[in-house]
Amino acid sequence: MPDKSVPIETQPARVPAQANSAFYNDPRFRAFIYQGLLVVGVVALFWWLASNAQQNLAAQNKQTGFAFLDQPAGFGISFSLIPFDRASSYLQVYFVGILNTLLVASIGIVLATMLGFVIGIARLSSNFLIRQFAAIYVETIRNMPLLLQLLFWYFLMLNALPAVRNAITLPFGIALHQRGLNLPALVPDDRFIFLAVAIVVAVIAGLVFRRWSLKQIENTGRRRPVWLPMLAIIIVPIFLVYFISGTRIAFDFPELRGFNFRGGFTAPPELTALVLGLVVYTAAFIAEIVRAGIQSVSHGQTEAASALGLKEGDRLRLVIVPQAMRVIIPPLTSQYLNLTKNSSLGAAIGFPELVNVYVGTALNQSGRAIEIIGMAMLVYLTFSLTTSIVMNWYNSRVALVER
Amino acid sequence: MSKKFLTIALSAALGLTATAVQAQTLDDVKARGHVLCGVTEGVPGFSNPDQNNNWVGLEVDYCRALGAAVFDDPDAVRYVPLTSAARFESLGNGNVDVLSRTTTWTMTRDTDLGLSFVGTMFYDGQGFVVRNADGITSAAELDGAAVCVESGTTTELNLADYAAANGLEIDTVVFVTRSEVVQAYLDGRCDAYTTDSSAIAAERTEFPDPSAHTILPEIISKEPLGPVVRAGDPQWFNIARWTYFALLNAEELGVTQANVDDMLGSENPEIRRLLGVEGDFGGPIGLTADWAYRIIKHIGNYGEAYDRHVGPSTPLALARGLNALWTDGGIQYAPPIR
């Protein structure tokens, strides 16, 4: 509704300074001075801390600087996404830590969101058993410290799963035992790049098609197939490229040799326990956020949707959830940030994430405390800010459009 | 006026910094009334709480010797258990006055971390313990094995070196605290557990079934374990170093806790100098002339401490070996007091 009323004057009328009052009695001048003093104070504090640290380090005869990053680290890391051995540099240790942290955070965020939404919706279920189960889950999990839960999952995994020689084996060399889960690994050849590019292009094309056809449905109101053509757009080019390029996909199967399984990809129990612990814990909080979001949508919306003849699933998907999202997204972002930062507790169960390998081992072996902790903080800050930016962008998309 | 105030404030701040760093550790210790000693989280024989929750062990006896030398009271010591990962920062920050916790003397640590190693209380080497059921008899058979190790230790580095030198593929599983490492090994996460062989012998006494585990014959490194102090305080360094030498010299001269009072009347000039009957050797390091007498009176000599905590009659049953005095075929050797 356009507002026809006269716009309200928001700027207070300027009061001319009285002739006999000094300039330092001007509130604007005072505000300027106070803020200036605060800035100077903060800068001076940090300058003082920095010079203090420098002086103390020099007095303790400690070396400082980033030259150590090129030095060989000299220790081994049990789980790394990039090649790493004892001759690798401290900088590579840093990257191994960052990648492992990213791995845990990204898997954790996806799984925790899925589990959290399921539990959150279950808490509102009309089924007594499901509702009570979800309530017990939330109240139990979120009221225990995460560190305790991680240790629980880890030592449960070590004690409940069979030893390596009695591993539970499945076809293709898949094996589950107390030292982790072994999976076959893909070994790409030179031409594999064509296939990889084809997959990316095909998936993007499929998504563009889906968007376009959904828009068509919305505009014309006529139903038309979406999923089958989309699948065809994705799959057909992939197969074509696979056969034309002549790439050969080989697998490296894990095999029990000596003490342990070798070859393939090994997910160590530390990784599994860390992801499991973070997902279970964070999902309990996400569940409450989802429940709150759904309950914030007034019941009249459900009734209106029913009156329009929407099915139960469509009611949730098209009417309730989009309105709930604007309540859910901001606290959900906090949970994502929490999960990323909590992944540093992996140090307690021996998973080589950033804090364990870099702030732990690398700091100890090199003695560069300030440099290393600063670099680690920078990583978490970057991760968190990036997550925030993405979620804020999404939030502005789902935010209530006020007209 | 405000400019003057700023100058005073700045110089006060900087002056404060300077005193904080260059404070004499001995003065701090005396003012506090006790020595702060960084120890392990519990390694039997070296530093471990007994049934009455008193810290005991060879390395604890060294801290007690410091307390005796400064205060004539071996109990004037407070113990701070530290993880391997936290120990050097704790010492550097002044949370402890001395670190006596199975710390290996290496060049980097001695020169690059603002620390000074006092001496070698215990000559050790890195070993492995494995389960009998695996049927391993040599570390060379560890190819493909998962090995549990403590974070931030020389053992972590030695393991990587040994694996590279012998072409072994070893899966290193790292934990921060020793209890976690041991628990993970016992729970089957690793095929072997590696650390200083004395510590392995000590830990094995606390395994549920010690006889089901074998210590492999290979010693893959030199691990000279000794007390550490902050660099830049020569007086405290000298006190720490000569406390260790006093323990050795007392054993060499046959002065024990039992006979130390009789020895005060000895005609042997070396003994007379050690016990402060002749000359004042405590003065230059800020202590009394009878500083070494106090140590021996309360603690005994090095050999007595060794036998009490890690020797053949203890559960650890470690032979003196390299840790015997040079006169008995070992390499423990102290410069003379004169």
Distances A54 to A49, A62, B231, B328 between C-alpha atoms, Å: 9, 10, 16, 48
Determine the Cα–Cα distance for residues B308 and A373; give it in Å rounded to an integer.
42
3-class DSSP state of B295: helix
Q: Which of B222, B238, B263 is the last residue of a domain?
A: B222
Residue A15 has pLDDT above 70, yes or no: no
Tell whether the torsion through CA atoms of A216, A221, A222 and A224 is positive or negative: positive
Contact residues, B window 125-154, toward A, CB-based 8 Å cutoff? 134, 142-146, 151-153
Asked if A74 and B108 come within 8 Å (Cβ–Cβ), the reply is no
Same domain? For B273 and B207 the reply is no
| Residue among A119, A79, A131, A56 nearest A272 (CA) | A79
Contact residues, B window 162-181, toward A, CB-based 8 Å cutoff? 163-164, 169-176, 180
Q: Is B187 exposed, middle or buried (0-12, 13-18, 19+ CB in 10 A)?
A: middle
Residue B144 corresponds to which tokens in the numbers above? Answer: 């493909």
Alpha-helical runs (H) found in B166-257: 178-186, 197-204, 234-252
Count of helices and strands (H, E) across chain A: 13, 8
Residue B236, pLDDT score: 94
Contact residues, A window 153-172, toward B, CB-based 8 Å cutoff? 155, 158-159, 163
pLDDT digits (tens, 9 = 90+) for A171-196: 877 888 888 888 888 777 777 888 88
Q: Is the residue at B338 inside a domain?
A: no
Residue A369 corresponds to which tokens in the numbers above? Answer: 């405390």
Q: Which chain A residues are Cβ-neighbours of B146 within 8 angstroms?
A: 78, 179, 259-260
Q: What is the mean pLDDT of residues A20-29?
A: 81
Same domain? For B62 and B75 the reply is yes
| Residue among B256, B306, B246, B247 nearest B281 (CA) | B246
Is A13 in CB contact (< 8 Å) with chain B?
Answer: no
Kindly report the nearest CA distance between residue A90 and chain B, in angstroms. 13
Strands of the B35-39 sheet, one edge to the other: B77-81, B35-39, B98-99, B228-230, B115-117
Q: Which chain A residues are Cβ-neighbours of B163 within 8 angstroms?
A: 76, 86
DSSP state of A256: E
Asked if B21 and A364 come within 8 Å (Cβ–Cβ), the reply is no
Same domain? For B231 and B117 the reply is yes
Q: Which of B179, B201, B222 is the last residue of a domain?
A: B222
- Number of residues that this document lists for chain B: 338
Residue among B134, B160, B184 minimizing CB distance to A350: B184
Q: Is the residue at B12 inside a domain?
A: no
DSSP state of B205: T
pLDDT in tens, chain B (338 residues): 444 444 444 444 444 444 444 458 999 999 999 999 999 988 888 999 998 989 999 999 999 999 999 999 999 999 999 988 788 889 988 899 999 998 999 998 888 888 999 999 999 999 999 999 888 888 888 888 899 998 878 888 899 999 989 988 888 888 888 888 999 999 888 999 999 888 898 888 889 998 899 988 888 988 899 999 998 899 999 999 999 999 999 999 999 999 999 999 899 999 999 999 988 899 899 999 999 999 999 999 999 999 999 988 988 888 888 899 999 999 999 999 98
Residue among B163, B175, B232 minimizing CB distance to A76: B163
Range of the domain at B66: 25-121+226-323
Residue B23, pLDDT score: 57
Residue A358 has pLDDT above 50, yes or no: yes
Q: Which of B222, B253, B273 is the last residue of a domain?
A: B222
Is B279 in CB contact (< 8 Å) with chain A?
Answer: no
Is B114 in CB contact (< 8 Å) with chain A?
Answer: yes
Is B233 in CB contact (< 8 Å) with chain A?
Answer: no
Do residues B245 and B335 make contact, with C-beta atoms less than 8 angstroms apart? yes
* Chain B interface test: which of A60, A89, A359 (most B C-beta within 10 Å): A60
Instruction: Tell me what the pLDDT averaged over chain A comes to.
Output: 86
Same domain? For B205 and B318 the reply is no
Same domain? For B40 and B111 the reply is yes
Same domain? For B69 and B128 the reply is no
Determine the Cα–Cα distance for residues A304 and A306; give it in Å rounded to an integer.
5
Asked if B173 and A159 come within 8 Å (Cβ–Cβ), the reply is no
Q: Tell me which residue has tokens 């190693």.
A: B117
3-class SS shares of chain B: helix, strand, coil, % to 5 = 45, 15, 40
Task: For residue A79, give the amino acid letter.
Answer: F
For chain A, domains (ranges, CATH) are 90-139+267-398 (1.10.3720.10)
Q: Could you count the other beta carbons within 10 Å of the beta carbon of residue B285? A: 19
Same domain? For B200 and B128 the reply is yes
Give percent above pLDDT 90 in chain A: 33
Task: For residue A367, give the amino acid letter.
Answer: G
Same domain? For B96 and B141 the reply is no
Is A145 in CB contact (< 8 Å) with chain B?
Answer: no
Q: Is the residue at B133 inside a domain?
A: yes
Asked if B172 and A76 come within 8 Å (Cβ–Cβ), the reply is yes
Q: Is the residue at B150 inside a domain?
A: yes
Asked if B187 and A77 come within 8 Å (Cβ–Cβ), the reply is no
Same domain? For B168 and B154 the reply is yes
Q: Is the residue at B173 inside a domain?
A: yes
| Residue among A62, A203, A395, A4 nearest B110 (CA) | A62
| Residue among B151, B160, B86 nearest A353 (CA) | B151
Question: How many CB pairs (< 8 A) connect A and B?
Answer: 136
Give the DSSP per-residue string, B28-76. HHHHHTSEEEEE-S-BTTTBEE-TTS-EESHHHHHHHHHHHHHHS-TT-
Residue B96, pLDDT score: 94
| Residue among A397, A341, A365, A371 nearest A101 (CA) | A341
Q: What is the mean pLDDT of residues A100-126?
A: 93
Asked if A57 and B114 come within 8 Å (Cβ–Cβ), the reply is yes
CATH code for position B143 = 3.40.190.10
Q: Is the residue at B5 inside a domain?
A: no
pLDDT digits (tens, 9 = 90+) for A283-314: 999 999 999 999 999 889 989 999 998 888 88
Same domain? For B48 and B137 the reply is no
Kindly report the nearest CA distance between residue A107 and chain B, in angstroms. 22
Do residues B39 and B79 make contact, with C-beta atoms less than 8 angstroms apart? yes
Asked if A259 and B176 come within 8 Å (Cβ–Cβ), the reply is no
Residue B199, pLDDT score: 87
Tell whether the torsion through CA atoms of B75, B76, B80 and B86 is positive or negative: negative
Residue A123, pLDDT score: 92
Is B230 in CB contact (< 8 Å) with chain A?
Answer: yes
Kindly provide the ipTM of the predicted complex, given to two decimals: 0.71
Do residues B226 and B121 make contact, with C-beta atoms less than 8 angstroms apart? yes
User: Which long-range contacts link A187-195 to residues 24+ away (Cβ below 8 Å)?
Assistant: A187/A249, A187/A250, A187/A251, A187/A252, A188/A247, A188/A249, A189/A247, A189/A248, A189/A250, A191/A245, A191/A246, A191/A247, A191/A248, A192/A247, A192/A249, A194/A241, A194/A245, A194/A247, A195/A238, A195/A241, A195/A242, A195/A245, A195/A247
Determine the Cα–Cα distance for residues A313 and A321; give it in Å rounded to an integer.
11
Q: Which chain B residues are Cβ-neighbours of A254 within 8 angstroms?
A: none
Residue A19 has pLDDT above 90, yes or no: no
Q: Is the residue at B168 inside a domain?
A: yes
| Residue among A44, A51, A89, A115 nearest A275 (CA) | A115
Residue A370, pLDDT score: 85
Asked if B18 and A55 come within 8 Å (Cβ–Cβ), the reply is yes
Which contiguous run of DSSP H or E holds residue A169? strand A168-169
Distances B44 to A307, B48, B66 between C-alpha atoms, Å: 76, 5, 21
Q: Is the residue at B8 inside a domain?
A: no
Q: Where residue A331 falls among pLDDT bands split at 50, 70, 90?
A: very high
Residue among B142, B160, B187 minimizing CB distance to A155: B187
Most confident of A129-143, A259-273, A344-358, B170-184: A129-143
Residue among B18, B21, B156 minimizing CB distance to A75: B156
Q: Where residue A103 falls among pLDDT bands split at 50, 70, 90?
A: very high
Same domain? For B214 and B138 the reply is yes
Task: For residue B25, give the amino acid letter.
Answer: T
Q: What is the mean pLDDT of residues A314-338?
A: 88
DSSP state of A316: I
Distances A363 to A366, A372, A373, B86 between C-alpha atoms, Å: 5, 6, 8, 10
Kindly report the nearest CA distance between residue B61 and chain A, in angstroms. 27
Kindly report the nearest CA distance between residue A66 and chain B, in angstroms. 14
Same domain? For B147 and B276 the reply is no
Q: Report the chain A residue with the minimal C-alpha distance to residue B191.
A: A259
Kindly report the nearest CA distance between residue B45 and chain A, in angstroms. 25
Is A86 in CB contact (< 8 Å) with chain B?
Answer: yes
Residue among A60, A62, A78 minimizing CB distance to B171: A78
Q: What is the mean pLDDT of residues A215-241?
A: 85
The total number of structural domains that make up chain B: 2
Is A62 in CB contact (< 8 Å) with chain B?
Answer: yes
Distances B250 to B246, B253, B295, B304, B309 between C-alpha atoms, Å: 6, 5, 10, 10, 18
Q: Is A184 exposed, middle or buried (0-12, 13-18, 19+ CB in 10 A)?
A: middle
